[in-house]
Structure 1
Amino acid sequence: MSDSSRDTAAGAGWGAAEPGAYRRLLPPASAKISWLDPRLLWAARNGVLASWLGDPTGRTRGRWVARQEAAGAPADKVIRRTDPDRFSFLVIGDPGEGDDPQYAVVPGLLTAGGDTSFAVIASDVIYPVGSADDYGPKFFRPYRDYPAPVYAVPGNHDWYEDLGGFMRVFCDDAPPLPPGPAPRPLTRAWLRSLLWHRPDPADGRHLSEARKLRSAPAQQAVQPGPYWAIDAGPVRIVGIDTGLLGTVDAEQGAWLREVSRGPRPKILITGSPLYVDGRHEPCPVEGGGTVDDIVRDPAHRYIAAIGGDIHNYQRYPVTLADGRVLQYVVAGGGGAFTHATHTIPRVAVAGVTERDFRCYPLRGDSLAFYSRLYGRRLRMPRFFTLTEAEATAVIAERLGIPPTRAPGAPVRVTRRVRLVAGLLGTARRPDRARRFRLPVRKVYTQVFSPGSATYSPPFFKCFLRLDVSPEAVRLRCHAATGNRAQEIAPPVEDEVTIPLP
């Protein structure tokens, strides 16, 4: 393995590194998504409509599930594989923008994961709205050389066209849903139906041609619906669909409780992480309780919960009251624009402290990355741009923690460095007051950050490899920077071995 970002700045991708070979994989003309384009924002309006006028995801999901069962999908939604007791699989979170950062993940993924039994995509397979015709350049083409099946759980972007493209690709070419019952006039549901974005009737006309890119028999898989379980070797992998707003409907919640029973150790894959950015987000279940209640129940024997949606890597080893340690992981760095980690405060949640917490990119690299973005965007590069050493030093000062990367030559933290760090939303120790800052944590990540994707390394993308044995699961987070060195030997940014009960 090459140096990781925890070892050296070069291991993080900084410096005059040789660019990777991933560009050869890109389509001849790859369209760039601009989240500042009003037309795109209008097409992606369903999440806002659902939050204002009521979320119809649960009812629509129920109709999809009923259709799949009527077509012969197993009622328990369990995929029973014949993997041996020792096998490996990949987790790729939020990949599908179809541009340089997504394709930059592929060479290292094939190097470090080409021998795995299958892969799982955790959330947002396709941006911006999950259209079927986007699957060619954003799914079939980038993963055409991955030799094994790919399963997926949808994210909110896959739901922006009522999950039609997702169901066609992953659920045996499921035909479109017929229109549901018309809502009563002059109600919130009626207004929502008038404004709701629906797929173009011609969408999917290129899907048959795209499928040829992953047409080998060993690459094929059919899943029973948007949520499922996989029995593989000694473990059960449970994938749930958290829809547009990060919640679980009552029908899926009842299934989750049922499929979680039994002695087999379990790993949850979810579109919404349960711990993220130093907070607990337990994911409500319609009718009462939360997904995390189910995961924590000792009778269900979960060992990890891995979620996408947030475009970086984080890990929280939470010790429960009965002494068990559950690994809560954010794994959304598979290709979409990078969410900041330098805005994460000093971690103190559920007994997890800064000593236990892991993230990628490191906070200092995240701050340096965003300082370059703002320098370009505001045409003030000399003021905003911080070196990775300056960013690492000011993060250590503001959070009161040791430098994450072994320090090199001493770095002076100047007033400018402190000012830039504050303007870019760098977290502070809890005893320090907040001052004015540019919109990074909320507005920036929701509006500007998606439009600030970079198309030159380092990208700070990642994927997970999980090696399963009867005794333990070894989880490793591999980095993808877009540089050649990390393609040849994908560095391990984090590693943990989880004993099986």
Structure 2
Amino acid sequence: MSNSSRDTAEGAGWGSAERGTYRRLMPGGAEKVSWLDPRMLWAARNGVLASWFGDPTGRTRSRWTAQREAAGAPADKVIRRDDPDRFSFLVIGDTGEGGEPQYAVVPGLLNAGRDTRFAVLASDVIYPVGSAGDYGEKFFRPYADYPAPIYAIPGNHDWYEDLRGFMRVFCDDAPPLPPEQPPRPLTRAWLRSLLWHRPRPDDGRGLAEARKLRAAPAQQAVQPGPYWAIDAGPVRIVGIDTGLLGTLDAEQGAWLREVSRGPRPKILVAGSPLYVDGKHHPCPVEGGGTVDDVVRDPEHHYVAAIGGDIHNYQRYPVRLPDGRTIQYVVAGGGGAFTHATHTIPRVAVAGVTERDFRCYPLRGDSLAFYSALYGRRLRLRRFFTLTEAEAAAVVAERLGIGPTRPTDPAARVTRRVRLVAALLGTGRRPDRAKRIRLPVRKIYTQVFSPGSATYSPPFFKCFLRLDVGPEEIRLRCHAATGNRAQEVDPPVEDEVTIPLA
């Protein structure tokens, strides 16, 4: 197996390396998604409108699921497969930007996952607004050669056109919902409806042609709606739709509690993670309680909770008072711009410490990546750009942790290196957080990260492979850098064995 970023800088994708073959898969003239383009931000306005004027996704979701049940979808929303007691599947999060970072994942995914029984896309299948017309180049083309079915959970971006494209592709070409009664004038709902982004009438005209790219019978999957459960071998995989604002409506919450009952081991796949960036986000359910309450309940037998939305990899092994350990995983590195990991402070949450925590890219690689990016964009390369060794050294100093990659040469941490690390929001040790209050971390995550899409390696993308057996699951995070070496043999950046007993 090839070296990972934890072994060598070359394993992380740094240095002069042969570019991968992924560009041969890409269509000519692929449009690049720019989150600094005001037109793109305006098209993706529905999340902001929902937070200001009320979130309508619960009602819309209920209408979609009622329509699917009327069309014959199972009322319990459980997909029952015939997988054996030993099988494998993939999880890929936040895929659909359609550019080089997404396509760079594909060759390694096919090499490491060709024998898997199915794949799950976890959140944000299509950027920027989930349009049906974007599925050809952002779903059907990149995964044309993946031989098995693909199921999906929508993310907030898939909801920016009321889930219309998602339902057409994954739910048996579900017809449009009939129009609702217009809201009363001068109400919050009325203001929201005036500004709400909706799909174009002609959107998705090329969808029938795009479907031919994944037309083999073995590739077909029909799911009962935007949330579902899959009974596969000895486990049940429960997929939930967290909508525009990362919450569950009461109807889906009741379904989640019902489908979680019983002794069968379960894995949650969600549109947003429950632990991320060193914090707990339990995901509220309308009417009371949280998703994490359901996951932690010993009667429900969850062993892992995987969420997308944040575009990197993180893992938190949370040990519960009853002695069980649940693996909480962030898996959003499937193709969209990279969210920084160097902004994650020293981890101390729910009993999980830095010793237990894992992330990809490594914090030092994340800082080196961003320093080079903003050195180019601000035309201050000599000031901003840090070597991988300098970035790793200053991260270790600021967080009080040892070097993750011991093969890096010792680097001198100068005043310039410390200043760049501070400007780029490098996470701090908890004992220093109160002394230095720079607002850079929140601004960095919400403003700078979305402008971080690059089109040359290393990309620091990833996907998960889960090997399920009667007694345990082996979860591995595979890297995709965009370089040829990592395409041929995708390195394992993290691995954990999860007992099912």
Tell me the TM-score normalized by structure 2. 0.99
Q: Which amino acid aligns with 2:294?
A: I
Q: Which amino acid aligns with 1:255?
A: W
Query: For residues 484 and 437 of structure 1, do their structure 2 counterparts lie closer, same or farther at Cα, with a shift above 3 Å needed?
Result: farther
**What is the SS of the residue equivalent to 1:268?**
strand
Matching of residues 351-362 of structure 1 within 5 Å: 351-362=351-362
Query: Which residues of structure 1 form unaligned runs of 5+?
Result: none
Conserved? CA contact 2:87–2:233, under 8 Å: yes
C-alpha separation between the residues in 1 aligned to 2:271 and 2:391? 31
Conserved? CA contact 2:425–2:444, under 8 Å: no
Q: Quote the residue 2:50 is aligned against.
A: 50
C-alpha separation between the residues in 2 aligned to 1:418 and 1:65? 53
C-alpha separation between the residues in 1 aligned to 2:227 and 2:408? 48
Q: Quote the residue 1:431 is aligned against.
A: 431
Q: Quote the residue 1:304 is aligned against.
A: 304
User: What is the Cα deviation at residue 451 of structure 1?
Assistant: 2.5
Aligned pair 1:406/2:406, yes or no? yes
C-alpha separation between the residues in 2 aligned to 1:447 and 1:57? 25
**What is the SS of the residue equivalent to 1:442?**
helix
User: What is the Cα deviation at residue 436 of structure 1?
Assistant: 7.0
Deviations 1:327-381 (A, max 9, x none): 0000000000000000001000000000000000000000000001110111100
User: What is the Cα deviation at residue 35 of structure 1?
Assistant: 1.1
Q: Quote the residue 1:160 is aligned against.
A: 160
Aligned pair 1:213/2:217, yes or no? no
Q: Quote the residue 2:198 is aligned against.
A: 198
**What is the SS of the residue equivalent to 1:467?**
strand
Q: Which amino acid aligns with 1:70?
A: A
Conserved? CA contact 1:423–1:436, under 8 Å: no
Q: Quote the residue 2:465 is aligned against.
A: 465
Matching of residues 466-485 of structure 1 within 5 Å: 466-485=466-485
C-alpha separation between the residues in 2 aligned to 1:406 and 1:308? 30
User: What is the Cα deviation at residue 409 of structure 1?
Assistant: 2.7
User: What is the Cα deviation at residue 21 of structure 1?
Assistant: 0.5
Q: Which amino acid aligns with 1:202?
A: D
Deviations 1:79-132 (A, max 9, x none): 000000000000000000000000000000000001100000000000000000
Q: Quote the residue 1:183 is aligned against.
A: 183
Q: What root-mean-square deviation, in Å, do the aligned CA atoms of Structure 1 and Structure 2 show?
A: 0.9
**What is the SS of the residue equivalent to 2:327?**
strand
Q: Quote the residue 1:332 is aligned against.
A: 332
**What is the SS of the residue equivalent to 1:330?**
strand
User: What is the Cα deviation at residue 445 of structure 1?
Assistant: 2.9
Deviations 1:407-438 (A, max 9, x none): 43321111100010011000111122464758
Aligned pair 1:270/2:270, yes or no? yes
Count residues in correspondence.
Answer: 500
C-alpha separation between the residues in 1 aligned to 2:9 and 2:438? 27
Q: Which amino acid aligns with 1:161?
A: E
Q: Which amino acid aligns with 2:54?
A: G
C-alpha separation between the residues in 2 aligned to 1:310 and 1:409? 31
**What is the SS of the residue equivalent to 1:273?**
coil
**What is the SS of the residue equivalent to 2:11?**
helix
Query: Which residues of structure 2 form unaligned runs of 5+?
Result: none
Tell me the TM-score normalized by structure 1. 0.99
Identity of aligned residues (%): 84
**What is the SS of the residue equivalent to 1:386?**
coil
Moved more, 29-38 or 124-133: 29-38
User: What is the Cα deviation at residue 444 of structure 1?
Assistant: 3.2
Conserved? CA contact 2:370–2:452, under 8 Å: no
**What is the SS of the residue equivalent to 1:393?**
helix
C-alpha separation between the residues in 2 aligned to 1:348 and 1:222? 41
Conserved? CA contact 1:333–1:462, under 8 Å: yes
Conserved? CA contact 1:131–1:165, under 8 Å: yes
User: What is the Cα deviation at residue 178 of structure 1?
Assistant: 1.3
C-alpha separation between the residues in 1 aligned to 2:268 and 2:143? 23
Q: Which amino acid aligns with 1:309?
A: D
**What is the SS of the residue equivalent to 2:299?**
helix
* Deviation beyond 3 Å, 4+ runs, structure 1: 433-439
**What is the SS of the residue equivalent to 1:12?**
coil
Q: Quote the residue 1:320 is aligned against.
A: 320
Q: Quote the residue 1:130 is aligned against.
A: 130
Q: Which amino acid aligns with 2:375?
A: G
Q: Quote the residue 1:147 is aligned against.
A: 147
